[in-house]
Every structure is written in C-alpha cells, then in structure tokens.
C-alpha cells in the first residue's frame, strides 16, 4: 500500500482519543481504520488488475494481444 501512512495517522488519533477519555471518538476512529484499510486494499487490487490487463469482461490480456476471432 502506497497510502498506508493514513492508517498511522488514524491510529495516532485513536490512541490520543483513548488516552484522553474520548471513548466514542476512539471507537469511531478504530472503525475508520478498518474502512480505510479495506478501501486501500480494494484500490490496490484494482490497480494491479489494470496493470495485469484484467478487463471488465473478466478476461486477462497481455499488453498488445487481442483475442483470436
């Protein structure tokens, strides 16, 4: 993940909230960490698929290759 720095920031915020008695904020930030991690993972998978040549029809093609018709 190239953008996983955001998880470090969210974790720091969650730790601060937890240490300062901001329980609801800490819980919300923990949930936010999970959502961000999932979105980053999905984004990375989409980029890898695009680079591999996986197209909307589910067919993987090498660059410059076309299906035989």
Is residue 47 helix, strand or coil?
A: helix
Asked if residues 61 and 67 have their Cβ atoms less than 8 Å apart, the reply is yes
User: Tens of pLDDT along the chain (69 residues)?
Assistant: 578 899 999 999 999 999 999 999 999 999 999 999 999 988 877 666 666 665 566 655 545 444 454
Asked if residues 41 and 33 have their Cβ atoms less than 8 Å apart, the reply is no
- The residues spanned by each domain of the chain are 5-52
Percent of the chain clearing pLDDT 90 (strictly above): 51
pTM: 0.62
Distances (CA, A) of 10 to 5, 53, 63: 9, 33, 38
């Amino acid at each position: 993940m190239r953008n996983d720095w955001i998880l470090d920031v969210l974790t720091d915020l969650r730790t601060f909230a937890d240490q300062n008695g901001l329980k609801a904020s800490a819980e919300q930030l923990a949930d936010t960490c999970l959502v961000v991690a999932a979105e980053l993972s999905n984004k990375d998978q989409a980029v890898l698929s695009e680079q591999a040549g996986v197209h909307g029809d589910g067919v993987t093609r090498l660059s410059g290759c076309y299906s035989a018709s």
